[in-house]
């Protein structure tokens, strides 16, 4: 008769207590599994969103590393079409998109509003990013973009323009002169961050080059990789290929650029870490109380076992086994509970409130994340072992005579 | 007792006191006593005379404040807690007034438990448990849990359990106190029969005149001291 078998019998004997404590463990486990699934989903969503926005890798002129441009395209990558073609041929690369970052004023003739512009190659940009999905009125840029522009809804509102209206874009060229071009508003986009909505403008690279008087120069080339491609290896291959062609470039990884992603990740880890710690403490306290009651109620039994020759370690094992068995039982119940709650939440269509600065909430989605289930199981077993240890140690150290005389 | 073999249990100058608030109450005072193989002895005396304390000391359930206890010739005072546990498991049996069976185990499992504790294979332990339960007349109750047994039946299971590891001595603390007269007499006859057939020593702490009447040695305790120690023919 192993300590574990006796522990299971005792759990069956004390049904009400077993159910109560299993429910506590199950709740703790489900909280771990659901929170883990939610966090994993959020991280994955954020990661995907970030990558769809900034790419997995970015090729920039080496001069741009760690420095800010004083004039537009001061550290631009010249002869971009050739560099793009070379980069596109590197194994693992799915697509390479040019991006030209620029600032200027947009005017409707009566009013001028500053904008943050991005020059793109419209068709591949629409295919690789969320740019097209963000359009709420009109359409996204097509072909080479022509003289079309897409404005953030806030910027369009400030300028009081609609799809089909014309705006004039003014910007300073790299040599410091002022230039202007006319653009046709083809679409309005909601980029989901209010401050950016009020300034966002996208245009085809051709129009931007005309405005900036800098043909074939880009701020960066955004690289999307094929599924399974190794980021670091591809980065090295890109550097080598472009260096061999005479480009002095640096490669930036998406994590270096995704400060928002890293901040949100740290925030989530902090919040859920704190909640997890509180949960563990609640489970420990509940379990310790219940196990202490079990030890007190079974004092005479402990005395009998010790009198018959059970070593102190045997008594310790018996109560620890009871705690671990309860943890396993609770985890099993918690697993079922978590799966049911997950299915219900995912089917509920609940929209979470938008994060600070964002304009849209997102539907709640809890992912099945096996690591969270495994971590929950380990955490609950560990928690129950800790909670059981001290009552079990007390039981193992009891005076046999006093235990036998316990009423 | 065999001439050459040491006594099963020997106490020399054993004392034990308890603290009761600020007062120190002596329970056993300078007791020397030996119990030999196959003895059927009763510790008799009024409440508070130290019977149970002495039984606990001799059964290595407690440690004396002074004096020595030898088990089959080996001094037990210096033994570790684990070694004392092993000695109790292998050489002693215990019978309690309240039976003290493990409630979650069946009669058979209760009897098999000390054997499994000693490392016996499960099948062997199960077989011997059944033999012992047969011997105490519980052949129909192998799988019954203690709460479904009568007091007499529980005490029989306890006797079978005490004999499981073929002990050299069984310590029985008021084994008949919770039994009706007839069951008490049957239980005593059973223990005496076991004593005679297997040469296992029995040492009782008791008030019960029926136990005293069946004992072949009666040790009278008073205020923690042995007042008389007589053998009965």
DSSP of B67-89, one letter per residue? EEEEETTEE-TT--HHHHHHHHH
Residue A66 forms part of a structural domain:
no
A212 and A296 share one domain: no
How many pairs of residues across A and B have Cβ atoms under 8 Å apart? Answer: 71
Record: contact B61-A307, CB cut-off 8 A = yes
**A234 and A370 housed in the same domain:** no
What is the average per-residue pLDDT within B7-34?
93
On whether residue A252 sits in a domain, the answer given is no
Q: pLDDT class for B4, splitting at 50, 70, 90?
A: low
> Does residue A356 form part of some domain?
yes
**Given this model, what pLDDT does residue B57 score?**
96
Contacts of B112 in chain A (CB under 8 A): 1
- Provide the pairing of β-strand A135-138 with A57-61: unpaired
User: Cβ separation of B117 and A304 shorter than 8 Å?
Assistant: no
What value does the mean pLDDT take over residues B10-30?
93
- Would you state the pLDDT for residue A357? 52
> Quick check: A306 and B85 CB within 8 A?
yes
**What mean pLDDT is predicted for residues A95-105?**
94
pLDDT in tens, A306-364: 999 999 999 999 989 999 999 999 999 999 999 999 999 999 988 877 665 555 667 88
A215 with A269, same domain? no
In-domain check, residue A238: yes
- Alpha carbon of B233: minimum distance to chain A alpha carbons (Å): 32
> Length of chain A, please?
407
In angstroms, the CA A79 to CA A247 distance is 9
| % of chain A beyond a pLDDT of 70 | 98
Domain boundaries of chain B, sorted by first residue: 39-63+81-231
Instruction: Give the structural domain span for A214.
Output: 78-246
> What distance in Å separates the CA atoms of residue A388 and residue A49, rounded to the nearest whole number?
45
What's phi and psi for A3, nearest 5 deg?
-55, -35
Q: Tell me the ipTM for this assembly.
A: 0.93
Final residue before a domain boundary, out of A246, A272, A290 = A246
Which helix (H) or strand (E) is A167 found in, with range? strand A166-172
Same domain, A231 and A375: no
Same domain, A143 and A237: yes
Q: Which residue of A has its CA nearest to B93?
A: A308
- Residue A163, pLDDT score: 96
Looking at the complex, does the CB of residue A314 fall below 8 Å from at least one CB of chain B? yes
Q: Are A130 and A180 in contact (CB under 8 A)?
A: no
Residue A102 contacts by C-beta under 8 Å, 6 or more apart in sequence? A72, A73, A117, A118, A119, A171, A208, A211, A212, A219
pLDDT tens digits, residue range A166-187? 999 999 998 888 999 999 999 9
Question: Looking at the 3D structure of chain A, how many domains does it have?
Answer: 2
Pinpoint the alpha helices (H) of A187-311: 194-197, 205-212, 231-244, 254-257, 259-297, 299-307
Nearest to B104 among A13, A303, A308 (CB): A13
To the nearest whole Å, the CA of B85 is away from the closest chain A CA by 4
Same domain membership, residue A274 and residue A313: yes
For residues A237 and A334, state if they share a domain. Answer: no
Is residue A311 one of the residues assigned to a domain?
Answer: yes
∠ Cα A224 A226 A228 (to 5°): 125
pLDDT at A106: 96
Q: Answer with the one of A221, A246, A271 that is the final residue of a domain.
A: A246
User: The whole model's pTM is what?
Assistant: 0.72
Q: Which of A6, A305, A401 sits opposite B62 (nearest CB)?
A: A401
Helix (H) or strand (E) holding A61: strand A57-61
What pLDDT is recorded for position B229? 95
**Rounded to an integer, what is the distance from CA A71 to the centroid of its chain?**
34
- Determine whether the interchain pair A401/B104 forms a contact, defined as Cβ–Cβ distance below 8 Å: no
Q: Which H/E stretch holds residue A329?
A: helix A312-348
CA distance B113 to B137: 19
Task: Give, in words, the CATH class of B39-63+81-231.
Answer: alpha beta
Please report which confidence band the pLDDT of residue A262 belongs to, taking 50, 70 and 90 as the band edges: confident
Are residue A241 and residue A265 in the same domain, yes or no?
no
Using a CB–CB cut-off of 8 Å, the residues of B that contact A are 56, 59, 61-62, 81-82, 85-90, 92, 94, 96, 98, 100, 102-105, 109, 112-114, 116-118, 161
Residues of A in contact with B94 (CB under 8 A): 304, 307-308
- Residue A55 falls inside a structural domain: no
B68 pLDDT higher than 70: yes
| One domain, residues A343 and A392 | yes
Enclosing H/E stretch for B30: strand B23-35
Question: Which pLDDT tens digit goes with each residue over A108-151?
Answer: 988 999 999 999 999 999 998 888 889 999 999 999 999 999 99
The answer to whether residue A234 sits within a structural domain is yes
- A151-162 core/surface letters (b: 16 or more CB in 10 A; e: else): bbbbbbebbebe
Q: What percent of chain B has pLDDT over 70?
A: 98
| Percent of all residues in chain A with a pLDDT value above 90, rounded to a whole number | 55
A70 part of a folded domain: no
pLDDT over 90, % of chain B: 75
Name the residue in chain A with its Cα closest to that of B118. A309
Whether A32 and A122 map to the same domain: the answer is no
User: How close, in Å, is residue A330 to chain B by CA atoms?
Assistant: 22
């Amino acid at each position: 008769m192993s300590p574990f078998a006796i522990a299971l019998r005792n759990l069956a004997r004390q049904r009400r207590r077993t159910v109560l404590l299993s429910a506590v463990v199950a709740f703790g486990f489900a909280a771990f599994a659901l929170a883990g699934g939610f966090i994993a989903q959020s991280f994955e969503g954020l990661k995907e969103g970030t990558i769809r926005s900034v790419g997995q890798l970015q090729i920039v002129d080496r001069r741009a590393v760690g420095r800010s441009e004083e004039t537009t395209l001061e550290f631009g990558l010249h002869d971009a079409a050739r560099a793009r073609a070379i980069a596109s041929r590197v194994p693992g690369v799915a697509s390479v998109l040019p991006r030209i970052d620029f600032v200027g004023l947009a005017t409707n003739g009566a009013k001028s509003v500053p904008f943050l512009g991005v020059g793109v190659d419209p068709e591949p940009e629409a295919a690789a990013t969320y740019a097209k999905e963000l359009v709420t009125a009109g359409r996204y840029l097509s072909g080479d973009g022509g003289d079309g522009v897409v404005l953030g809804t806030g910027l369009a509102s400030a300028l009081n323009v609609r799809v089909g209206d014309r705006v004039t874009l003014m910007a300073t060229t790299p040599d410091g002169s002022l230039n202007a071009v006319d653009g046709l508003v083809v679409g309005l986009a909601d980029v989901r961050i209010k401050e950016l909505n009020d300034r966002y403008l996208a245009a085809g690279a051709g129009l931007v080059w005309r405005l900036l008087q800098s043909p074939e120069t880009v701020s960066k080339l955004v690289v999307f990789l094929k599924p399974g491609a190794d980021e670091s290896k591809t980065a090295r291959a890109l550097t080598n290929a472009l260096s061999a062609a005479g480009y002095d470039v640096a490669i930036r990884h998406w994590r270096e650029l995704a400060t928002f992603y890293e901040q949100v990740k740290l925030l989530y880890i902090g919040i859920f870490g704190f909640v997890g710690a509180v949960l563990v403490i609640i489970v420990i306290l509940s379990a310790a109380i219940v196990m202490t009651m079990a030890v007190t109620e079974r004092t005479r039994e402990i005395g009998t076992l010790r009198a018959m020759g059970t070593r102190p370690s045997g008594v310790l094992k018996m109560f620890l086994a009871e705690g671990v068995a309860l943890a396993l039982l609770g985890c099993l119940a918690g697993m079922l509970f978590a799966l049911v709650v997950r299915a219900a939440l995912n089917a509920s269509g609940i929209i979470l409130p938008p994060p600070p600065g964002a304009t849209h909430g997102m539907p709640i989605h809890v992912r099945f994340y096996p690591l969270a289930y495994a971590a929950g199981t380990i955490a609950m077993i560990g928690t129950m072992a800790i909670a059981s240890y001290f009552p079990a140690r007390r039981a193992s150290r009891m005076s046999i005579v006093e235990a036998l005389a316990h009423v | 007792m065999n001439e050459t073999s040491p006594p099963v249990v020997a106490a020399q100058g054993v004392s034990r006191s308890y603290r009761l608030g600020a007062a120190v109450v002596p329970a056993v005072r300078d007791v020397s006593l030996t119990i030999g193989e196959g003895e059927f002895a009763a510790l008799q005396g009024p409440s508070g005379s130290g019977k149970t304390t002495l039984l606990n000391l001799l059964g290595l359930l407690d440690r004396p404040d002074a004096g020595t206890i030898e088990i089959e010739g080996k001094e037990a005072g210096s033994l570790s807690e684990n070694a004392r546990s092993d000695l109790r498991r292998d050489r002693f049996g215990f019978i309690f007034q309240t039976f003290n069976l493990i409630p979650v185990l069946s009669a058979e499992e209760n009897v098999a438990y000390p054997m499994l504790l000693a490392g016996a294979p499960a099948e062997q332990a199960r077989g011997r448990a059944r033999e012992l339960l047969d011997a105490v007349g519980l052949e129909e109750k192998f799988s019954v849990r203690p709460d479904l047994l009568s007091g007499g039946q529980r005490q029989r299971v306890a006797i079978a359990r005490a004999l499981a590891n073929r002990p050299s001595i069984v310590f029985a603390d008021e084994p008949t106190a919770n039994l009706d007269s007839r069951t008490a007499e049957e239980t005593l006859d059973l223990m005496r029969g076991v004593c005679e057939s297997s040469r296992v020593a029995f040492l009782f702490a008791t008030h019960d005149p029926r136990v005293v009447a069946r004992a072949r040695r009666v040790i009278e305790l008073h205020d923690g001291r042995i007042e008389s120690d007589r053998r009965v023919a």
